[in-house]
Structure 1
Amino acid sequence: MSKNIGAQDLNIHLGEGDEQALFKWLIASFLMGKRIRSQIAVDAYKVIIEKHRRDTPRKLGACTHGQLVKMLGEGGYARYDESTAERLLKLSKKLTDDYAGKVTNIREASEDRADFEKRLEAFDGIGPKTVEIFMRDAQDVLF
């Protein structure tokens, strides 16, 4: 990858309290955090978020596993499509159940940035690389 893809590159304009933008960036970061070419992750993001408009935890969580696998495949994200679909559904459910569907509620529940990052890593499929990508652009609006 020649350069890091940021939120602005995906036309995501992060602003304080903008839940939809934060969720979109979380999904983009989740996809880019896997061992897959960044352009494929971007293409899959665009299929899921832009084409199919699954741009909130509730909308994404309303997908079936099969629908998400198909969307990921449409974006060329075929290598880990089954597990990624499962983890995206779990991410949506946990965000909805534990944090009322709001990334800012994760922040509110956190003592500090380290605690916030630890809470992010508690989501299935989110590891240090995804947190690093997400925080690169989201830190200024969250902290």
Structure 2
Amino acid sequence: MSKTISAGDLGIQLKKGDESALFKWFIASFLMGKRIQRDIAAEAYRVIVEKRSRDTARKLSGCSHRELVVMLGEAHYVRYDETTAERLRHLGKKLVNEYAGKIGNIQSASEDRKDFEKRLGEFEGVGPKTIEIFMRDAAAVLY
């Protein structure tokens, strides 16, 4: 019954060193990691990343809280829209400020996969479920 959505299902082709694809999958995983229907989370990803082109950490962090709430609303991702909007902005800013906007830099700074996952968990709103979803597809190109 509970079919998972993969990176490929969203048209994200993960490859070693492809920062753009890793970032997109991280955002999709973040959205799907919440208690919300997977189809709504997938639509929120499409609205934010594809339709509104917030496809880098810098572009995402440059959004206002209100802009993100509107984008989430457009996708009917309304249950947690206020906190999710805030956390997405923080995610973008932290990625830019601490890792120059690159998931690969989190990996470079990490001793191993466990440390990498711990660092992902330091992003506000990123919990075990988001990490599990992200690593399900990203581990193959990161490790």
State the TM-score, normalized to the length of structure 2.
Answer: 0.99
Aligned to 2:75: 75
C-alpha distance in structure 2 between counterparts of 1:63 and 1:100, whole Å: 17
- The equivalences for 1:51-62 within 5 A come to 51-62=51-62
Displacement of 1:131 in angstroms is 0.1
2:112 partner amino acid: D
Residue 2 (structure 1) shift: 2.7
Q: Please, what is the CA RMSD of the aligned residues?
A: 0.6
Q: Unaligned stretches of 5+ in structure 2?
A: none
1:94, distance to aligned residue in structure 2 (A): 0.4
Matched, 1:18 2:27: no
Residue 139 of structure 2 corresponds to which residue in structure 1?
Answer: 139
1:111 counterpart residue number = 111
Alignment match, 1:9: 9
* Post-superposition CA distance 1:120-139 (Å, at most 9, x none): 00000000000000000000
Residue identity in the other structure for 2:41:
A
* 2:92 corresponding residue in structure 1: 92
5+ residue gaps, structure 1, are none
| Alpha-carbon distance in structure 1 between the residues aligned to 2:17 and 2:111 | 18
Task: State the Cα deviation string for residues 44-78 of structure 1 (Å, max 9, x = none).
Answer: 10000110000000111111000000000000100
Residue identity in the other structure for 2:123:
F
Per-residue CA deviation, residues 86-116 of structure 1 (Å, 9 max, x unaligned), is 0000000000000000000000000000000
User: Equivalent residue of 2:78, what SS?
Assistant: coil
The answer for the alignment partner of 2:34 in structure 1 is: 34
Question: Could you state the TM-score of these two structures normalised by the residue count of structure 1?
Answer: 0.99
